[in-house]
Amino acid sequence: MKIGILSTNKNLYSTRRLVEAGVERGHEMPVINHKRCYMNITSHNPSIHIKGEAITGIDAIIPRIGASISFYGTSVVRQFEMMGVYSVNESVAITRSRDKLRAVQLLSRRGIGLPVTGFANSPDDTEDLLQFVGGAPVVIKLLEGTQGVGVVLAETKSAAESVIEAFSGLKANFMVQEFIKEAGGSDIRCLVVGDKVVAAMKRQGREGEFRSNLHRGGSAKLIKITPEERSTAVRSAKVMGLNVAGVDLLRSNHGPVVMEVNSSPGLEGIENATDRDVASMIIEFIEKNAKQGKTRTRGTG
């Protein structure tokens, strides 16, 4: 098969590993910089071009799209779908998971465990918003933030009010969530492929840091997850419509709660922590499922 990886940097660990795993299994694995793609959107012969040449013969794609270019990246994925190319994660599913508020609302509707979350437009509603989530301390998240950027722990009511006032002044969209103190600055990243959790690691924030992201100096180790955590991770990926997802859970006093569902999970931390060949599992999933025109949405969503 010819499996294209949509990535802006072929030297990134995740991109490299997917290329290696695909080549090992006998596939052609071109890396396609989606930022350099341009599209001819026509009714009967949609096409994608890069540097003056049409991209042809692709059987499947693996989107590795950064949050900062979600809009353009998902439009390229959608164009591939319109051309009948199988995408391991479809454009609609990626867009759904990237909108943090929409994702929380969809997970809530399906009864998935979540931190209590509040969202408002007017600073006049700050008092009610803080009461919704049980009062300070609270976590305030920019909807556009990634890798722990734009996530603030407000330990007092006055601190929360100040942060909300600042974000409102910047016309930024944010949500307020209860602080799960019992998690102790750690979370669990479950890597879901298809309908299975293929690897799981516990990430621990550095001393004094409530965010556990590895990019922020956190550490990771192998962890055994419970059947409830496994089920929550798989169901969350399904709600988003993602075949490959990183689902971040916290262990709360009332069971696992989902913090985020990531459509382009990094492979370096979890492969190193668990010694699992996740890249090969993703390629194997594509081998079993990639069929011409098998995308559910065909770029229409």
76 part of a folded domain:
yes
Same domain assignment for residues 105 and 22: no
Q: What are the counts of helices (DSSP H) followed by strands (DSSP E) for the chain?
A: 9, 16
**Element at 117 (helix H, strand E):** strand 117-118
Domain CATH code at residue 146: 3.30.1490.20
Asked whether residue 122 falls in the same domain as residue 54, the answer is no
| HEC per residue, 173-228 | CEEEEECCHHHCCEEEEEEEECCEEEEEEEEECCCCCCCCCHHHCCEEEECCCCHH
* Co-location of 43 and 83 in the same domain: yes
Please name the residues in contact with 201: beta carbons below 8 A apart, sequence gap of 6 or more. Answer: 188, 189, 220, 221, 222, 223, 269, 270, 273, 274
Cα–Cα distance, 205 to 214 (Å, whole number): 8
In a structure prediction context, what are the per-residue pLDDT tens digits for the chain, which is 301 residues long? 999 999 999 999 999 999 999 999 999 999 999 999 999 998 889 999 999 999 999 999 999 998 889 999 999 999 999 999 999 999 999 999 999 899 999 999 999 999 999 998 877 788 888 988 888 899 998 887 565 567 888 999 999 989 988 888 888 888 899 998 888 888 999 999 999 999 999 988 766 555 555 555 567 889 999 999 999 999 999 999 999 999 999 999 989 999 999 999 999 999 999 999 999 999 999 999 987 556 555 444 4
pLDDT of residue 185: 80
Alpha-carbon distances of 153 from 113, 138, 160, rounded to whole Å: 21, 6, 8
The answer to whether position 298 is within a domain reads no
At 192 the pLDDT is: 98
Q: Is 126 contained in some domain?
A: yes
CATH code, domain carrying 252: 3.30.470.20
Residues 180, 188: Cα–Cα separation, whole Å: 13
Q: Are residues 269 and 196 in the same domain?
A: yes
pLDDT score recorded for residue 299: 44
Question: Are 72 and 149 found together in one domain?
Answer: no
Q: What is the pLDDT of residue 208?
A: 57
User: How many structural domains is the chain composed of?
Assistant: 3
- Do 103 and 229 lie in one domain? The reply is yes
In terms of residue numbers, what domain contains 188? Answer: 97-113+182-284
In angstroms, how far is CA 84 from the centroid of its own chain? 24
Domain CATH number, residue 70: 3.40.50.20
Query: Do residues 218 and 269 share a domain?
Result: yes
Query: What torsion do the CA atoms of 277, 36, 87, 240 make, to the nearest 10 degrees?
Result: 90
Residue 177's nearest CA partner among 210, 223, 225, 208 is 210
- Closest by Cα among 48, 40, 58, 64 to 292: 58
Q: Is residue 254 part of a domain?
A: yes
**pLDDT per residue as tens digits for the range 87-100:** 999 999 999 999 98
Nearest to residue 264, comparing CAs of 83, 77, 38? 77
The reply to whether 108 and 121 lie within a common domain is: no
Establish if 252 belongs to a structural domain.
yes
Does 301 fall in a domain?
no
Q: Is residue 299 part of a domain?
A: no
Choose the final residue of a domain: 158, 179, 200: 179
State the Cα torsion 228-234-239-245 to the nearest 10°.
Answer: 130
Tokens of 144: 């556009």
Which residue among 129, 163, 179 closes a domain? 179
Q: Are residues 107 and 244 in the same domain?
A: yes
258: part of which helix (H) or strand (E)?
A: strand 255-262
Helix (H, G, I), strand (E, B) or coil at 266: coil
CA–CA distance, 189 with 223 (Å, rounded to integer): 10
Q: What are phi and psi of 64, to 5 degrees?
A: -125, 80
Residue count (the chain): 301
Give the helix/strand (H/E) hosting 62: strand 60-63
**pLDDT (0 to 100) of residue 217:** 54
- Per the domain annotation, does 290 fall within a domain? no
Q: Are residues 56 and 73 in the same domain?
A: yes
Question: Do residues 205 and 276 both lie within one domain?
Answer: yes
* 101 & 72 share domain: no
